[in-house]
């Protein structure tokens, strides 16, 4: 059995956000959610529930991936 000489997670660790970056992103997301709530976005989505129909089926939406 061969030993692993390289850290298999080194690349993953290299792209991780710092705690400060995580906190900044979280604060920004929370602010945007507050702005959306103040604008009534969530109430509008609730009004549209069950009333919106898609013209394309899932296969048509995925057609551009091929």
Written as six digits, the tokens of 45 are 């989505």
The domain limits of the chain are: 10-65
Instruction: Tell me, letter by letter, the H, E, C secondary structure of 1-65.
Output: CCCCCCCCCHHHHHCCCCHHHHHHHHHHHHHHHHHHHHCCHHHHHHHHCCCCCCCCCHHHHCHHH
For 4-18, the pLDDT digits (tens) are 678 889 988 889 999
Instruction: Give me the mean pLDDT over the 21-43 stretch.
Output: 96
Distance from C-alpha of 37 to C-alpha of 45, rounded to nearest angstrom:
11
Report the pLDDT value the prediction gives residue 55, as an integer from 0 to 100: 81
Q: Check whether 56 has a pLDDT greater than 60.
A: yes
Who wins on pLDDT, 30 or 66? 30
Distance from C-alpha of 17 to C-alpha of 25, rounded to nearest angstrom:
10
Report the pLDDT value the prediction gives residue 2, as an integer from 0 to 100: 60
Who wins on pLDDT, 45 or 61? 45
**What's the pTM value of the predicted model, to 2 decimals?**
0.56
């Amino acid at each position: 059995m061969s030993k692993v000489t390289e850290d298999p997670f080194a690349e993953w660790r290299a792209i991780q956000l710092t705690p400060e970056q995580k906190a900044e992103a979280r604060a920004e997301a929370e602010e945007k959610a507050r702005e959306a709530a103040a604008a009534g976005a969530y109430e509008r989505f609730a009004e549209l529930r069950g009333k919106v129909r898609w013209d394309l089926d899932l296969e048509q939406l995925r057609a551009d991936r091929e």
